[in-house]
Amino acid sequence: MKLADNKATLSFSNGSPSVELPVYQGTIGPDVIDIRKLYAQTDMFTYDPGFLSTASCQSAITYIDGDKGELLYRGYPIEQLATNCNYLETCYLLLNGELPDAAQKADFEKLVTNHTMVNEQMQFFLRGFRRDAHPMAVLTGLVGGLSAFYHDSTDINNPEHRQISAIRLIAKMPTLVSMAYKYGVGQPYQYPQNNLSYAGNFLRMMFGNPCEEYKVNPVIERAMDRIFILHADHEQNASTSTVRLCGSSGTNPFAAIAAGVACLWGPAHGGANEACLNMLEDIQRMGGVAKVGEFMEKVKDKTSGVKLMGFGHRVYKNYDPRAKLMQETCNEVLAALGLENDPLFKLAKELEKIALEDEYFVSRKLYPNVDFYSGIVQRAIGIPVNLFTGIFALARTVGWIAQLNEMISDPEYKIGRPRQLYTGSVRRDVPTKR
Ligand code: SDX
């Protein structure tokens, strides 16, 4: 970042001395007012719950232009990456800043492929869960538990440890997610197959079984890989900020990523794809497209607490570019599976059409986000609804790691420790007679 030819002056109506604050600019996007010395100079904090106007860090990984509906990973538009690259190339890009050449791509794929197995002890973690445990509860435990097996690489300040932890996490997430699924359906775990692609291997571990050979459907394989790409990173969203804050204490990468998994689970964040599919199924049960108008009235009635899941975004005030690509993937997969007339897809498109013409949504700049169509395509592939967020966590692991590594490599980083506006009781004594 560099100093802008601009300064901010903070003046106070009570006659306190005004303060000059430097302004910094990045390569693209809004400038920032550097308030790091504000408390020392004014004995006051800034106040920004939800961080609507706060940049928590500087980053070179992902850029989002919410007004244009633009998403760049290391400068490359998501549309081009989703069309011309695969997920492991995207992982390499997010971690290293450049797309891999042929040799780097082959080395990276080999490295990831050779770390896909988990320690045999991991299966005994699962046995502690009820079979009907939510996969995100299982995954939060499994990812945190990984740190118990890799004492040789938990020093986050050691670049080699960060590198091998990144490979292990990227490689093992598909194995762990499929184990959580298999445990829930009472089927045996499938070991990774090194001759399959990253997405193909995941599909086989999910849907393969010991009784017959599993054949990877190339259309589904490509769709799965694209879903991973679309979810790989997204700037300083809630779970990434959680990973950064957790990692800033110096804890090991596995624990920091487990914190990200836990945060992503929430329905306002990564849990929205599961909530969106459940919402579509509820409307379908109530009568489908004929009931959309009634449902929309509930959404617009604040007292109902009903939201149009998969719609709206803190940053995008235009169409989420990932939602467009996800809708395309939906079309491809449904056509490949002969499900063009999938009633939920029709319902989703009708909901979108009505919402985009409705003043309530237009005035609030609410558009479909990445979660609006992702559930429909995952359901068509055969992924159970309660596993959608687990797939999101699998794909986002590389983004979390890249952001964590970027923070740790920044010489200016400190442990994150926000302050507060205190509104509780002033000092008082415990009554002697109670
Ligand atoms: C993800 O941050 C990221 O980058 C996240 C993510 C990523 O890749 O990491 O993109 C992934 O989390 C996508 C978002 C998935 N969540 C959902 O689809 C849940 C439904 N969406 C909302 O909960 C909401 O839109 C948020 C949480 C996504 C954003 O909330 P904000 O930015 O805090 O906005 P807001 O709640 O203040 O909404 C502004 C207005 C409010 O109405 P008013 O107070 O102005 O009258 O819009 C309304 C909200 O009530 N609103 C909605 C709505 N989303 C916002 N009303 C109905 N349905 C919705 N979905």
| CA 163 to each of CA 141, 199, 243, 403: distance values in angstroms, whole numbers, following the listed order | 22, 22, 17, 13
Binding site membership of 313 for ligand 1 (Cβ less than 6 Å): yes
Binding site membership of 370 for ligand 1 (Cβ less than 6 Å): yes
- Beta-bridge partners for 70: 65
- For a ligand 1 pocket test, name from 311, 360, 370, 389 the mutation site with the most ligand atoms within 8 angstroms of its C-beta: 311
Binding site membership of 269 for ligand 1 (Cβ less than 6 Å): yes
> What pLDDT score was predicted for residue 410?
87
Q: How confident is the model at residue 75 (pLDDT cuts 50, 70, 90)?
A: very high
Q: What is the pLDDT of residues 176-212, one digit of tens each?
A: 999 999 999 999 999 999 999 999 999 999 999 999 9
What are 239's two structure tokens? 């779970």
Cα of 51 vs centre of ligand 1, distance in Å, is 14
Q: In what order do the strands lie in the sheet with 70-73?
A: 62-65, 70-73, 76-77
In the block, which residue shows the tokens 């604050």?
Answer: 21
Average pLDDT over residues 357-364: 92
Q: Whose CA is nearest to atom 31 of ligand 1?
A: 314
Q: How confident is the model at residue 1 (pLDDT cuts 50, 70, 90)?
A: confident
Binding site membership of 115 for ligand 1 (Cβ less than 6 Å): no
Overall pTM > 0.85: yes
CA distance 209 to 188: 7
Residue 32: φ, ψ to 5°? -125, 145
Q: How confident is the model at residue 12 (pLDDT cuts 50, 70, 90)?
A: very high
Q: How confident is the model at residue 101 (pLDDT cuts 50, 70, 90)?
A: very high
* Cβ neighbour number for residue 332 with a 10 Å cutoff: 15
- Of the candidates 134, 231, 234, 313, the residue annotated as catalytic is 313
- For a ligand 1 pocket test, name from 280, 307, 367, 396 the mutation site with the most ligand atoms within 8 angstroms of its C-beta: 307
Q: Is the dihedral of CA 297, 301, 303, 306 positive or negative?
A: positive
Q: Is 234 among the catalytic positions? A: no
- In degrees, rounded to 5, the angle at the alpha carbon of residue 226 between the alpha carbons of residues 308 and 123 is 90
CA distance 364 to 299: 13
Mean pLDDT of the chain: 95
pLDDT above 70 covers a percentage of the chain that reads 100
Say if CB 228 and CB 394 are below 8 A apart: yes
| Ramachandran class of 110: left when φ > 0, alpha when ψ lies in -120 to 50, beta otherwise | alpha
- For a ligand 1 pocket test, name from 94, 308, 313 the mutation site with the most ligand atoms within 8 angstroms of its C-beta: 313
Q: How confident is the model at residue 102 (pLDDT cuts 50, 70, 90)?
A: very high
Binding site membership of 272 for ligand 1 (Cβ less than 6 Å): yes
CA distance 173 to 37: 41
Q: Whose CA is nearest to atom 56 of ligand 1?
A: 307
Q: What is the pLDDT of residues 419-432, one digit of tens each?
A: 999 999 999 999 99
pLDDT at residue 71 tops 90: yes
Q: Is 371 among the catalytic positions? A: yes
Binding site membership of 311 for ligand 1 (Cβ less than 6 Å): yes
pLDDT at residue 106 tops 80: yes
Q: What is the pLDDT of residues 128-143, one digit of tens each?
A: 999 999 999 999 999 9
Say if CB 142 and CB 125 are below 8 A apart: yes
Binding site membership of 399 for ligand 1 (Cβ less than 6 Å): no
Average pLDDT over residues 392-407: 98
Binding site membership of 73 for ligand 1 (Cβ less than 6 Å): no
pLDDT at residue 434 tops 80: no
pLDDT at residue 155 tops 90: no
Average pLDDT over residues 26-31: 96
Say if CB 342 and CB 376 are below 8 A apart: yes
Q: What is the pLDDT of residues 38-70, one digit of tens each?
A: 999 999 999 999 999 999 999 999 999 999 999
pLDDT at residue 433 tops 90: no
Average pLDDT over residues 282-309: 93
Cα of 277 vs centre of ligand 1, distance in Å, is 16
**DSSP code string of 125-141:** HHHTS-TTS-HHHHHHH
